[in-house]
Amino acid sequence: MIIKMKKGSSKNQYKKVVDFLESKGLEIKDVSSEQVTIFGIIGDTTQIEPFDLYAFEGVGDVTRVSTPFKKASRSFHPKDTIIELPNGLKIGGDHFTLMAGPCSVESEAQLRTIAKAVSKTGTKILRGGAYKPRTSPYSFQGMGLDGLKLLRKVADEFGMLVVSEMMTPNLLHEFNQYVDIIQIGARNMQNFDLLKMLGKTDKPILLKRGLSSTIEEWLMSAEYIMASGNDQIILCERGIRTFENYTRNTLDISSVLAVKELSHLPVIVDPSHAAGRWEMIENLSLAALAVGSHGLIVEVHHDPEHALSDGAQSLKPKKYENMVKKLQNIAAVTGKDVQ
Amino acid sequence: MIIKMKKGSSKNQYKKVVDFLESKGLEIKDVSSEQVTIFGIIGDTTQIEPFDLYAFEGVGDVTRVSTPFKKASRSFHPKDTIIELPNGLKIGGDHFTLMAGPCSVESEAQLRTIAKAVSKTGTKILRGGAYKPRTSPYSFQGMGLDGLKLLRKVADEFGMLVVSEMMTPNLLHEFNQYVDIIQIGARNMQNFDLLKMLGKTDKPILLKRGLSSTIEEWLMSAEYIMASGNDQIILCERGIRTFENYTRNTLDISSVLAVKELSHLPVIVDPSHAAGRWEMIENLSLAALAVGSHGLIVEVHHDPEHALSDGAQSLKPKKYENMVKKLQNIAAVTGKDVQ
Amino acid sequence: MIIKMKKGSSKNQYKKVVDFLESKGLEIKDVSSEQVTIFGIIGDTTQIEPFDLYAFEGVGDVTRVSTPFKKASRSFHPKDTIIELPNGLKIGGDHFTLMAGPCSVESEAQLRTIAKAVSKTGTKILRGGAYKPRTSPYSFQGMGLDGLKLLRKVADEFGMLVVSEMMTPNLLHEFNQYVDIIQIGARNMQNFDLLKMLGKTDKPILLKRGLSSTIEEWLMSAEYIMASGNDQIILCERGIRTFENYTRNTLDISSVLAVKELSHLPVIVDPSHAAGRWEMIENLSLAALAVGSHGLIVEVHHDPEHALSDGAQSLKPKKYENMVKKLQNIAAVTGKDVQ
Amino acid sequence: MIIKMKKGSSKNQYKKVVDFLESKGLEIKDVSSEQVTIFGIIGDTTQIEPFDLYAFEGVGDVTRVSTPFKKASRSFHPKDTIIELPNGLKIGGDHFTLMAGPCSVESEAQLRTIAKAVSKTGTKILRGGAYKPRTSPYSFQGMGLDGLKLLRKVADEFGMLVVSEMMTPNLLHEFNQYVDIIQIGARNMQNFDLLKMLGKTDKPILLKRGLSSTIEEWLMSAEYIMASGNDQIILCERGIRTFENYTRNTLDISSVLAVKELSHLPVIVDPSHAAGRWEMIENLSLAALAVGSHGLIVEVHHDPEHALSDGAQSLKPKKYENMVKKLQNIAAVTGKDVQ
């Protein structure tokens, strides 16, 4: 961390902040010149929030030069994390993993129809929402526990695994029972009580990026989970909020590369929530493969017009099948293994 | 709601979406011309999420022309909501209410020092965090229940009320016991499980705007609380995330005016989190009064350099006192009553 | 266009806005219900800026249902525009066109080294800045006319075409003389005097998207050029400004799909300015191909450390060569023709 | 400037960047520890764009610790700049200066009606657009030179000064002749050829902030003008582009405080373009005064429904008059002088 004092700040102000830092066991290296008073801080600075140092009068700029996360950082863990699932499926490295299914579980028949269709393409992870975060209290809120049970039942029929979103720490027991990968949604990325609870399960966590989260904040949320004891995390880019509203969100495809540089954790892409328009899903998925992500989570529905949520961004099974073929074609020349 | 079909869409596609809408009890008014197929939907459209209609092939644009919220809307409740607190204090209308105190409760002595100082200026609501949402798992996470108890104890000594942030539904009982206003933080504005739980208390709720929430989404979160049975809500603008990072967030001062137009609920401003720099608090507070907000929530600390959180954006008591005097001067000429 | 009157607006207010619209030759279709007064406007609404209608008291919401651009719209020109360059090279359709070269022309030797290297890979368009828009007045501002002349000379040696940025209408004559494609930079996307002048040349225009331009505004700038008489336009996505600043800008890869839906004009991607980091260029370029764009404009420099501008986002020739091979591999399975 | 090398970077990479910097006359102060290689750069770093240093392999992070602007910086010119206009009017310091008039000059009668009305309130600067930057090529583009002449004529009748927007360097002669303050619009804030030309006039410049410009970039554009020889600059905050679109733009009221801290130049607020809705103008103007800005530029029109541009954000004269009274009331208690 580097601190630059304000022009005209006093020696006493300088002393106060230096004393404070030294009391934390940190070492000061001064590099001041005639024009400017500036010094570096050596040691474990993750205990300090740079912003808090502005509380000291005279402090001008505080700049962090090391990442605030440790366990999630590639510096501390240079090799790629590869997550191994119960059925031997692997996420990370050269694997390109597909997760597909409806936005919401609506009925056993609906889920089976879709699971059958996506399973046929070789997709081995079934997605589906049982508890739904909806902007409006008047919208369908999900089937709840019955939805979780249906997911387990139908996935087992087709030899698939289940990924589903958990919104409250109170349901951890049920998710442990019925689900293989626990999804934390964008709106809960900084629901810290929820994150801390995830140390109490050994299920892998699919951690979506918040709508307006920086890459650093996203990795800090991963750090929360890791700090509480669970290091099986799959990150998921799903679009960020910007001024552009032709698409529902703006897919930040570069974030895949940033995550791969900063962290060892696998990172997949959710083109459905990013675009919000099914017409774009195929091409964004091809781009997600080409850019180097580790997989996709895609909404598929056989009757999107009557879907209880997100029909607009759901692919019909036939379109999904075509897309998987194109993914396989590109994967064949880029050394990836679509699964 | 207005739906425009895509150029080249078929009669069958048109029929499918119209049939669907009519099956929901909605009425269709067609205004198509030779160039374009377009129709309006009459009836209670809050049951439909416009985005979902894109699932119908042939649908080009869907535009909502009425707000998706009801109970929070001024159309349904034209008169200003004025919230009356246990000690008779009122929030809303021509009242300009001050809430002040430390970011985090750190100790009884700290809290008493600050409460005494802000109380002296006539401020009657003590803020203080007992459970803290921190970006880093390695930062101070708050004193927890002991913090809540201290807030109650110290506030009572000075005849003040308590506002404090609740992060998890599990603690509602404790907050009901120790707190007068329950704060929902920006990161939890769309933690829907938490919002639904607030129907189970009759305490007023201070609902902060999410970092990247539109005004409509913010009011929809208020609607969640109201739909679950609690209509005592105070909205709080605290800055949004933009590309500008000289300030911690960008105070969207116009949102105060937007909320007052769209809703009957009172709206206050948090200049501390918006700016992130104590030097700006006073002037932003004066602006918040001038623009027509119903109050402020401000961080005050007697020793901000050693604050365990947010010292950088905390005012020292003397500066807070000066600010209150300036607020009173402006209020005197604008017909507001600072309390 | 759809207009919804405010609740409580008067008949007289309604009459005023309707009279105004009818005086413009537009037709009104009323679809009001008991709850809401609402009507559609039929006719050529491109003459009206929706925002201006809010000037009428009583007007609540104005919603455009047709695009404000005509010549740039796919509705008016369903077939893809394919631009043919002097040497027969084509941009658009299934062609994937590469443009590469230094950020700035620095010297004849520099330019020749780079042109030779990129030419070797089959790249036929040489990029290079002679007039540079720099944030700081103290930074290198480009070689000016000498730079243009060098571009022409060196490109001719290798049988290449030249693309370079024009910042002021006064230099049109010189650009006509030395350049094959005139680039309009992001900062000048809404320099309307400059856009209007481009009707006076028959050179193709490479129109970059502004840092904070919506897709609609970008197409409106294309419309300006087309309305002034030049319909040879290549759009270029180069990243937008968002809250995320790990990358220089956020590459909005979905905008390629949006443009292809809304317009018939070709659209390429500039990964260099989007990412601002050379490490990301290759993978973003592969994604740009996979998503369906019509080409790339890439910064290449043999000695980026000593480049006078943008060295950080320039690929070394060897890396560029590797990237082109990977592009060709993917193009081979996706039916594109890299040139 | 502080440079941190990447983990695992080589000594040779370190040497290359250090040699480069020393060759520019800069001094290196190394503060490396065992964990990290890091050094500060002492000297005039405005000659270096931090981003360019990433071109050196091994460079991890580059952080600027001094502002890139000099002449515009308060460090180099601690005292407030106060601009004195031909008629003795002053902008800056404790003066709060009003500029008002129509968005576009439409006719002599229109301009005179409005000028008379705003003049009556004590407003001494008449705004009006003669050359209009319009998003659509099909919208009214302004009266051009005739508009400028009318502005001069009508302003003289009422003893007022003229501010009007210049979009192209070619018209400097005409603006010098007819106008007292030359406005540079948001879309041209980084039209560097235009900025450089402004060194050739001694008229004050009203420099609007770009839609997506950081405060630093805005001050760098002021620096461009100052570096070319004109230091009479008034900055103008007019709202930035964010995800929120209830308002036309988001008024960044904190930027007034940031500018006053970083620079000695006066800064005013344009509430009309920020809000885009006349209902919000009055309250935003009061906030702009309360926050400490040096004035306002406001759109006023006696017949906004038939205004050729921006009617929606124009105040009627009576509403403007009421607003000025309220401004005077607040100014009386805050020690400002409304003029």
Tokens of A132: 């739904």
Closest chain A C-alpha to D59 CA, distance in angstroms: 12
Give every residue of chain A whose pLDDT is below 70, as ranges. none
Q: What 8-state DSSP symbol labels residue D80?
A: P
Mutate to test the interface with B, among A5, A51, A223, A314 (most CBs of B within 10 A): A51
- Among A212-216, C121-125, C306-310, D170-174, the minimum mean pLDDT is found in C306-310
CA–CA dist C223, B292 (Å, integer)? 42
Nearest chain C alpha carbon to A286:
C290
Q: What is the DSSP string of D143-177?
A: -THHHHHHHHHHHHHTT-EEEEE---GGGHHHHHH
The residue in chain C having the minimum alpha-carbon distance to the alpha carbon of residue D17 is C305
Residues of chain C contacting D167 with CB distance shorter than 8 Å:
191-193
Per-residue confidence band for C136, with pLDDT thresholds at 50, 70 and 90: confident
Query: What are chain D's partners, defined as 3 or more CB pairs within 8 angstroms?
Result: A, B, C
Residue C267 has pLDDT above 90, yes or no: yes
Determine the pLDDT at residue D216.
95
**Min Cα separation D44/chain A (Å):** 10
Contact between residue A68 and residue A220 where contact means Cβ atoms under 8 Å apart: yes
Per the CB < 8 A criterion, the answer to whether C298 and C285 are in contact is yes
pLDDT(C290) > 90:
yes
Give me the pLDDT at residue D328, please: 97
Which residues in chain B have their CB less than 8 angstroms from residue C38's CB?
A: 40, 65
Per-residue pLDDT band at B137 (split at 50, 70, 90): confident
Nearest Cα residue in chain A from B57? A305
Closest partner CB to C283 (pick from A242, A257, A274): A257
Residue C162 near residue C180 (C-beta atoms within 8 A): yes
Report the residue of chain D nearest A243, measured CA to CA: D243
- Cross-chain residue pair B224–A53, CB shorter than 8 Å: no
User: Count of CB contacts below 8 A, B vs D?
Assistant: 122
Q: What is the pLDDT of residues C295-316, one digit of tens each?
A: 999 999 998 887 777 777 889 9
Q: What is the pLDDT of residue D109?
A: 96
Q: What is the DSSP string of B109-150?
A: HHHHHHHHHHHHTT--EEE-BSS---SSTTS----THHHHHH
Q: Across the C/D interface, how many CB contacts are shorter than 8 Å?
A: 143
How many angstroms separate the CA atoms of B77 and A291, rounded?
51
Domains C2-63 and C83-338 in one fold: no
Q: Which residues pair with D2 in a beta bridge?
A: D40, D63
Of D2, D35, D243, nearest to A63 by CB-CB distance is D2
Q: What pLDDT, on a 0 to 100 scale, did the predictor assign at position C164?
A: 98
- The per-residue pLDDT for B24 is 87
Instruction: Write out the two tokens for C186.
Output: 């992001």
Closest CA–CA distance from residue C277 to any residue of chain B (Å): 19
In chain D, where does DSSP find H-type helix?
11-23, 108-120, 145-157, 172-178, 192-197, 215-227, 254-262, 271-275, 278-291, 317-334
Mean pLDDT, chain C, whole residue set = 92
Residues 6 or more apart from B272 whose CB is under 8 A from it? B103, B278, B281, B297, B298, B299, B310, B313, B314, B315
CA A84 to chain centre: 18
Question: How much is the average pLDDT of D306-319?
Answer: 83
List the 284-313 stretch of B: residues with Cβ below 8 A of D.
284, 286-292
One-letter amino acid of C289: L
Residue with tokens 């003066």: D95
- C-alpha D51/C-alpha D58 separation (Å) is 14
Q: Which sign does the torsion angle of CA C30, C32, C37, C39 carry?
A: negative
- Chain C positions touching B245 (Cβ under 8 A) are 243, 245
Residue B119 C-alpha, separation from nearest chain D C-alpha, in angstroms: 25
ipTM computed for the complex: 0.92
Helix, strand, coil distribution of chain D in percent, nearest 5? 40, 20, 40
CB A266 within 8 A of CB A336: no
Residue B167: closest C-alpha in chain A: A193
The residues pairing with A222 across neighbouring beta strands, listed in sequence order, are none
The residue in chain A having the minimum alpha-carbon distance to the alpha carbon of residue B53 is A312
Which pLDDT value is given to residue D63?
Answer: 80
Average pLDDT value for residue range C267-289: 95
Q: What are phi and psi of B163, to 5 degrees?
A: -120, 130
In this prediction the pTM is 0.92
Is the pLDDT confidence value at B220 over 80? yes
Of B61, B7, B10, the C-alpha closest to C77 is B7
Nearest-by-CA chain B residue for C240:
B243
CA pair distance C55, C211, nearest whole angstrom: 29
Contact C75 B245 (CB under 8 A): no
Which residues from B are below 8 Å from D212, CB to CB? Answer: 243
Q: Which residues of B touch C213 (CB under 8 A)?
A: none
Q: Which residues does chain A have within 8 Å of residue D25's beta carbon, measured at their own beta carbons?
A: none
The domain spans of chain D are: 2-63, 83-338
- Span of B120-129, D47-56, D260-269 with lowest mean pLDDT: D47-56
Residue D333 CB-density burial (10 A; 0-12 exposed, 13-18 middle, 19+ buried): middle
- Give the residue from chain D lying closest to C45, CA to CA: D138
CATH code for the structural domain at C83-338: 3.20.20.70
Q: Which of D33, D40, D66 sits opposite A31 (nearest CB)?
A: D40
Helices (H), A11-129: 11-23, 108-120
Cβ-based contacts of C188 with chain D (< 8 Å): 191
Q: What is the bridge-based pairing of β-strands D125-127 and A95-101? A: unpaired
D257 has a chain B CB within 8 A of its CB: yes
Interface test with C, best of B29, B39, B46, B247 (most C CBs within 10 A): B29
DSSP H or E segment with residue C296: strand C295-299
Question: In CATH, what number does D2-63 get?
Answer: 3.30.70.1140
pLDDT value at position A311? 72
pLDDT band at C210 (very low <50, low <70, confident <90, very high): very high
Size of the A and B interface in Cβ pairs below 8 Å: 145
Instruction: Evaluate whether B96 touches B109 at the Cβ level (below 8 Å).
Output: no
The answer to whether residue B170 neighbours chain A at the CB level (below 8 Å) is: yes
Residues A93-143 have pLDDT tens digits of 999 999 999 999 999 999 999 999 999 999 999 999 999 888 888 888 899
Q: pLDDT per residue over D135-157, tens digit each?
A: 888 888 899 999 999 999 999 99
How far from the centroid of its chain's Cα atoms is residue B274's Cα? 13
Does an H or E element contain B27, and which? strand B27-30
Helix (H, G, I), strand (E, B) or coil at C206: strand
Contacts of D243 in chain A (CB under 8 A): 212, 241-243, 245
| C136/D46 touch (CB, cutoff 8 Å), yes or no | yes
Contact C36 B65 (CB under 8 A): yes
Tally A–D CB contacts below 8 A: 56
CA D316 to chain A, closest CA, distance in angstroms equals 31
The DSSP H or E segment spanning B237 is: strand B233-237
Predicted local distance difference test score (pLDDT) of residue C67: 80
Query: In chain B, which residue ranges form alpha helices assigned H by DSSP?
Result: 11-23, 108-120, 145-157, 172-178, 192-197, 215-227, 254-262, 271-275, 278-291, 317-334
pLDDT value, residue A76? 83
- Among the residue ranges D96-100, D260-264, D274-278, the one predicted with the least confidence is D274-278
Residue of B nearest to C246 (CA): B243
Mean pLDDT of all residues in chain D? 92
D119-128: average pLDDT: 97
CB atoms within 10 A of CB B159: 9
Average pLDDT over residues B41-64: 81
Q: Which of B70, B138, B132 is CA-nearest to residue B104?
A: B132
Reported as a pLDDT band with limits 50, 70 and 90, residue C39 is confident
Q: What is the pLDDT of residue A67?
A: 80
Q: What number of other Cβ atoms are within 10 A of residue B243's Cβ?
A: 23
Rg (CA), chain C: 23
* Shortest Cα–Cα distance, D49 to chain A (Å): 18
Cβ contact, residue pair D284, B254, below 8 Å: yes
Confidence of residue C146 (pLDDT cuts 50, 70, 90): very high
How many whole angstroms separate alpha carbon A337 and alpha carbon A327?
Answer: 10
